[in-house]
């Protein structure tokens, strides 16, 4: 702050006024300095609260270092299918590299928003990538996804390129440029899928699920299979994504475990939604809902315009139609009108 003193012929009065003005200016400057100091301390404390402590960073680094890529026993003895399987270790990126690649996580690079954070497009080391920036509270989901994707590699599972644990939690994936299945089915900026393409997407997704259910040790259960988590590449081939809720177990597919209920309503089987019983059947049920979405292009939850409590799931509607067949009702009544003229049907 700049203070100006005007001297005039009144002598002492002017001098006294100048001194008083100087004192007032000094007090104001001191108060401003204190306010700025307190604001800076508060802001720094808030930023520090968002950043992992040194102890937490050490714990995360230790946990991440334990995610080693080793072939499963089924791979070692040649029992698993070889087609589509690759083996490569994820790379640890620096925060600075991710920051620069996204121009400071600028909104112009933002391509999505999920339950655990935002997703940004970037080009890293000559490869197109999708960077998921996760909240520090999502440590469990971060480690779960890192654990799965550093152990499991398949053509129909999204590939993890690397990760970063500086300042926040980051997962870096291959960039899948053609959106997700939900977007294609809802007609949001995409041409309607042909029946040949729909069948291929169903097969690709099924192969990805079969691999994590049948050909890995331990068995992995995705727990959030839905059309929004099936990505479509430029060749209209599908990859299963978003393994943040994945459950791993040493047991076979015939045994159920009890756990907290997570996932997306409309895709959950009744025994899981009510009691938390989890097994590979949870994913199979959800995949069945996705298949019906592929046929009907309807949402997993058909919401009522009158009351939210009257909303029904696709499975309920399918059962209702199958038990109340009326005159004129045929298979085509359940088929998306966008594809009813497809000659491949």
Catalytic residues: 224
Pairing of strands 160-164, 169-174: antiparallel
Phi-psi region of 37 (alpha: psi -120 to 50; beta: other; left: phi over 0): alpha
Of 232, 336, 224, 242, nearest to 285 by C-alpha is 224
Q: What is the DSSP string of 271-299?
A: HHHHH-EESHHHHHHHHHHHHHHHHH---
CB 1 within 8 A of CB 29: yes
CB count, 10 Å around CB of 17? 15
CA-to-CA separations, 29 to 5, 36, 220, in angstroms, rounded: 16, 10, 63
Buried residues in 207-243 as b, exposed as e (16+ CB within 10 A): bbbebbbebbeebbbbbbbbbbbbbbbeebbbbbbbb
Please work out, in degrees rounded to the nearest 5, the angle formed at the alpha carbon of residue 92 by the alpha carbons of 86 and 98: 110
Annotated binding site: 133
Annotated binding site for ATP: 133
CB 74 within 8 A of CB 216: yes
138 DSSP assignment? G
């Amino acid at each position: 702050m700049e203070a100006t003193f005007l001297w005039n012929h009144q002598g002492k009065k002017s001098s006294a006024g100048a001194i008083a003005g100087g004192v007032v200016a000094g007090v104001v400057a001191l108060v401003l300095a204190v306010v700025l100091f307190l604001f800076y301390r508060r802001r720094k404390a808030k930023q520090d609260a968002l950043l992992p402590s040194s102890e937490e960073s050490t714990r995360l680094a230790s946990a991440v270092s334990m995610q080693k890529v080793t072939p499963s026993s089924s791979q070692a003895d040649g029992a698993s299918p070889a087609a589509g399987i690759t083996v490569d270790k994820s790379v640890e990126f620096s925060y600075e590299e991710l920051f620069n690649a996204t121009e400071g996580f600028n909104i112009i690079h933002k391509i999505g928003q999920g339950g655990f954070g935002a997703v940004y497009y970037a080009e890293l080391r000559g490869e197109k990538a999708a960077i998921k920036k996760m909240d520090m509270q999502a440590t469990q989901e971060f480690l779960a996804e890192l654990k799965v994707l550093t152990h499991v590699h398949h053509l129909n599972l999204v590939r993890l390129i690397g990760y970063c644990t500086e300042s926040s939690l980051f997962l870096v994936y291959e960039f899948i440029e053609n959106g997700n299945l939900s977007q294609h089915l809802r007609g949001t900026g995409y041409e309607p899928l042909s029946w040949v393409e729909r069948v291929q997407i169903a097969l690709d997704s099924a192969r990805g699920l079969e691999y994590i259910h049948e050909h890995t040790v331990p068995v992995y259960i995705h727990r959030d299979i839905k059309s929004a988590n099936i990505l479509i590449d430029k060749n209209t081939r599908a990859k299963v994504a978003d393994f943040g809720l994945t459950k791993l177990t040493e047991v076979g597919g015939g045994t159920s475990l009890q756990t907290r209920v997570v996932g997306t309503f409309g895709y959950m089987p009744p025994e899981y939604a009510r009691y938390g019983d989890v097994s590979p059947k949870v994913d199979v049920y959800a995949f069945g809902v996705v298949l019906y979405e592929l046929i009907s292009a309807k949402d997993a939850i058909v919401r009522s315009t009158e009351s939210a409590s009257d909303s029904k799931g696709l499975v309920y509607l399918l059962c209702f139609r199958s038990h109340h067949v009326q005159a004129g009702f045929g298979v085509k009544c359940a088929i998306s009108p966008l594809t009813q003229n497809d000659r491949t049907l």
